[in-house]
Amino acid sequence: MRRHILIAAALMITTSAHAHNGVKDPEVMARMMAMEKIGAAFKTLVSMAKQDIPLHQAKARMARDTIVMQSGKINGLFESPATDPKSEALPTIWEDWADFSAKSGDLTKAGLALDFKDRAALVDTLAGVGLACKACHKNYRLKKD
Ligand code: HEC
């Protein structure tokens, strides 16, 4: 199960790399850049969990801080229903704003709960972060995870 989540998470990152190339709307670009930072931090932690790279405390802490900080910006960045032909944001975000904004809060909480004292703790708590990404993308992002 945990392994399954990690693999799904890793796939999600790979398929979404540079989805923002050619985006013209500055608000759409800003929210995509925040997502990309979240994605890069998540990818670092997944690589540590999978032992592709060593578990490094300072790097793990930086990645955790990025997830917590950038997830705290999601609501402000997505509040305006800006569009762009390249955007993968679904209109349901603004139809169901209360739920969308709660899901960004769930990601912040999962980020704060990250524990990387050892690999087992990281694998456990990273699964919660991966689920928070999926819970939001499932309803509010065009491309399926
Ligand atoms: C509250 C909702 C929400 C949460 C939580 C969330 N995302 Fe997203 N994410 C979105 C939406 C919506 C888009 C599409 C934005 C657009 O194209 O305008 C997106 C886009 C992305 C992109 C593509 C960025 C680009 O360059 O176009 C990546 C990568 C990404 N998310 C990674 C993650 C990861 C990893 C997590 C969890 C650690 C996560 N997201 C959590 C809503 C969310």
Mean pLDDT of the chain: 91
Domain spans, the chain: 2-140
**Fold for domain 2-140?**
Four Helix Bundle (Hemerythrin (Met), subunit A) (1.20.120)
Residue 1 in this model has a pLDDT that exceeds 90: no
Closest approach atom of ligand 1 to CA 78: 12
Nearest in space to 107 (alpha carbons), one of 10, 38, 8, 33: 38
67 CB-near residues (< 8 Å, 6+ apart):
38, 41, 42, 107, 111, 114, 129
Whether the CB of 39 sits within 6 Å of ligand 1:
yes
State the pLDDT at residue 145.
47
What are the tens digits of pLDDT across the range 67-106?
999 999 999 999 999 999 999 999 999 999 999 999 999 9
Report the greatest alpha carbon distance in the chain.
43
Q: Could you give the CA distance from residue 20 to residue 125 in angstroms, rounded to a whole number? A: 29
Report whether 112 contacts 49 (CB < 8 A).
no
Q: Give dist(CA 23, CA 1) in Å, integer.
A: 36
Ligand 1 centroid to 26 CA: how many Å?
A: 16
DSSP secondary-structure letter at 87? Answer: -
pLDDT tens digits, one per residue of 2-40:
666 665 666 565 555 566 888 999 999 999 999 999 999
What spacing in Å lies between the alpha carbon of 56 and ligand 1's midpoint? Answer: 25
Does the pLDDT at position 59 exceed 90?
A: yes
Kindly state the percentage of the chain with pLDDT values over 70: 86
Structure tokens at 97: 């704003």
> Is pLDDT at 112 greater than 90 in this prediction?
yes
Note the pTM of the prediction, 2 decimals: 0.92
Total length of the chain: 145
Q: What is the pLDDT of residue 6?
A: 66
- Whether 31 is in the pocket of ligand 1, judged by its Cβ within 6 Å, is yes
Compute the average pLDDT of residues 45-51.
97
Least confident of 9-18, 109-118, 131-140: 9-18
pLDDT of residue 16: 55
Predicted pLDDT of residue 5:
64
